[in-house]
């Protein structure tokens, strides 16, 4: 699905990503772990094109997207849930969701399954985004990214500051998206999910594949089922 090869990224003179390469597959959750400041968010912004990469290659289903703008990447089927959610606090829940459909033809409907996955959004449809709790806002940010029916969903620390019951709900939704996909106009396609996560237990539970970053590089990788025996919890412990 998404392939990144030898990604190099700088902020001014600081070399932030140093030759990052990996592949995220359809039907799988790829978890990106690492301590604060190792470059996880920068990598996600680079995948989205929010910060253009200095060198390296990115492709989606074999098509190069390295030079695409963020908008073009969304059109190609990448959904992005940024760190800190970034919902529109003064817009209603419904308008936030419609923002996720901005590039679709006028009249495109919000996929009804989103309200099954996140029932609270239906109850709060006409409330302002800013009136929602942090956990509800996170669900809104995920639903907004899903509204256009992406094939790849990127989430940057969705559990940050969220209560445990909502974390569980989000975990269930991510598993379902990878295993079955979201139904849009009667069709489904399993998704690739890339999840940046500091909450180790949540990461281990969901990971099909894991990547551990340190100082802008991937220093460990493997199958999610092997995280325990490989001592990944200890590797990322502060």
Ligand X SMILES: Nc1ncnc2c1ncn2[C@@H]1O[C@H](COP(=O)(O)OP(=O)(O)OP(=O)(O)O)[C@@H](O)[C@H]1O
**Chain residues that interact with ligand X, rule: CB under 6 A:** 11, 14, 16, 34, 36-42
Q: Phi, psi at residue 125, to the nearest 5°?
A: -50, -35
User: In degrees to the nearest 10, what's the CA dihedral of 135, 137, 139, 141?
Assistant: -140
Q: Smallest distance from the beta carbon of 204 to ligand X, in angstroms?
A: 17
CB 47 within 8 A of CB 194: yes
Q: Beta strands 14-24 and 2-11: pairing type?
A: antiparallel
Q: Smallest distance from the beta carbon of 45 to ligand X, in angstroms?
A: 8
Q: Smallest distance from the beta carbon of 72 to ligand X, in angstroms?
A: 22
Nearer to ligand X, 41 or 209 (CB): 41
Q: Smallest distance from the beta carbon of 157 to ligand X, in angstroms?
A: 7
Separation of alpha carbons 8 and 145, rounded Å: 26
CB 50 within 8 A of CB 70: yes
Q: Beta strands 192-196 and 29-33: pairing type?
A: parallel
Nearer to ligand X, 41 or 137 (CB): 41
Nearer to ligand X, 36 or 63 (CB): 36
Nearer to ligand X, 47 or 93 (CB): 47
Q: What token pair was written down for 132?
A: 């929602």
Nearer to ligand X, 80 or 118 (CB): 80
Q: Smallest distance from the beta carbon of 235 to ligand X, in angstroms?
A: 15
Residue 61: C-alpha distances to residues 4, 76, 155 (Å): 11, 10, 19
Q: What token pair was written down for 117?
A: 């996955």
């Amino acid at each position: 699905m998404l392939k990144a090869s030898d990604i190099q990224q700088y902020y001014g003179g600081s070399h932030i990503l140093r030759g990052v390469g990996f592949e995220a597959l359809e039907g799988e959750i790829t978890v990106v772990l690492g301590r604060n400041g190792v470059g996880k968010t920068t990598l996600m912004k680079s995948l989205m094109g929010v910060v253009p990469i200095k060198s390296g290659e990115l492709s989606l289903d074999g098509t190069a997207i390295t030079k695409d703008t963020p908008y073009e990447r969304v059109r190609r089927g990448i959904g992005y849930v940024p760190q800190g959610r970034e919902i529109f606090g003064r817009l209603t829940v419904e308008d936030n969701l419609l923002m996720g459909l901005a590039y679709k033809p006028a009249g495109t409907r919000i996929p009804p399954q989103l309200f099954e996955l996140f029932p609270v959004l239906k109850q709060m449809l006409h409330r302002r985004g800013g009136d929602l709790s942090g956990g509800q806002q996170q669900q809104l940010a995920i639903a907004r990214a899903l509204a256009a029916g992406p094939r790849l969903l990127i989430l940057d620390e969705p559990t940050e500051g969220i209560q445990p019951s909502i974390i569980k709900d989000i975990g269930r939704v991510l598993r379902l998206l990878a295993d079955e996909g979201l139904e849009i106009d009667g069709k489904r396609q399993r998704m690739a999910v890339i999840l940046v996560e500091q909450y180790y237990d949540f990461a281990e539970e969901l990971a099909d594949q894991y990547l551990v970053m340190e100082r802008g590089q991937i220093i460990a990788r493997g199958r999610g089922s092997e995280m325990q025996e490989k001592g990944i919890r200890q590797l990322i412990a502060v």
